Amino acid sequence: MQLIKALFLRLAFGAVSLLIISFVTFVASAMAPGDPARYIAGEKATEAQYQRIREQMGLNKPLMTRYGIYLSDIAHGDWGKSYQGVHEPVADILKRTVPMTAKVAILAIILASTIGITLGTIAAIRENRFADRSILTISTLGVTLPNFVLAPILVYIFAVKLDRLPVGWDVELRAPEWMYLLLPVIVLSLRPMAMLTRLTRAAMVETLRQEFIRTGIAKGVPPFRLYTKYALRNAILPVVTTIGTTFGFLLTGSFVVERFFIMPGIGSRTIEAILSNDVPVVQACVLVTGAMFVLVNTIVDLLLPILDPRIREAQV
């Protein structure tokens, strides 16, 4: 019963977080310079035409009334229409861009988690030895090297110099899709990979000094089983928690990566919308990005009691 209560509390917290995100984004958009009605009406529109468009958009209503209408429209699946081009429905833009960003972010977090946890475990086992120092040096470089520096370096090496991977994003996908995704995923995963490596190492070093590990060694437990089944399982909790937070960095980091690699994701579309003052698209992209972040952290919170029975017992 307590587990169900904890689940509902986490979902309620996520809903409140999304409500706050939507409100802040809506107010910031309303206070931003520029008049959407004037933009849509055009320079040659008369004052009467301008006022009619402003009334149709509801801009003559109080801010909180407009916010209530905005929430109601979202609840009914109406995200509005883009101010740009043919005024494409925002829902169609989301359907086209969200899968791309989600795919890149998920692949990046899988790559970062797999390699980061593995390297961190090896570094802890070989503490203060060559392998440990080498891994720490590489992870330090990974933490300090920004995406906008790493991306052009990898493009120059693998796309220009070696000519092994395509540059940018081809709508017709003349090469296999994984070739287009490889560099963006590597660039996006490097920093979280380095962070998870250092965190796993710190947690494992502390765990390996515990009494039950020494007892296992004395009883002749095979090293691989001792490290993976007992030590890593006890050290993994802070790492799993950090993975949820790291996913948020991947979503925001994808803005730069998608823009650099010309990928049709929600990150690059958000930047385009901000530069062109396309308010409905900005609001939708920010809210969907926040929803993805809340969803992943909710999943992580639900996994913790499964990984650690002590948390489950505390909730019962």
Task: Encode pLDDT of 30-89 as tens digits.
Answer: 887 777 777 777 777 778 887 888 887 778 888 899 899 999 999 888 898 888 877 899
Lowest mean pLDDT among 215-224, 275-284, 300-309: 300-309
Q: Give the pLDDT confidence score for residue 1 in this predicted structure.
A: 59
pLDDT band with cut points at 50, 70 and 90 for residue 295 = confident
Q: Give the pLDDT confidence score for residue 179 in this predicted structure.
A: 85
pLDDT cut 70: percent of the chain above it: 94
More confident residue, 172 or 155: 155
Given a cut of 70, is residue 313 above it in pLDDT? no
Q: How far apart are the C-alpha atoms of 264 and 12, rounded to whole Å? A: 32
Segment of 127-131, 168-172, 224-228, 232-236 carrying the highest mean pLDDT: 127-131
pLDDT band with cut points at 50, 70 and 90 for residue 107 = very high
The amino acid sitting at 109 is I
Average per-residue pLDDT for the chain: 85
Section 102-120 average pLDDT: 93
> Other C-beta atoms within 10 Å of 136: how many?
17
Given a cut of 70, is residue 312 above it in pLDDT? no
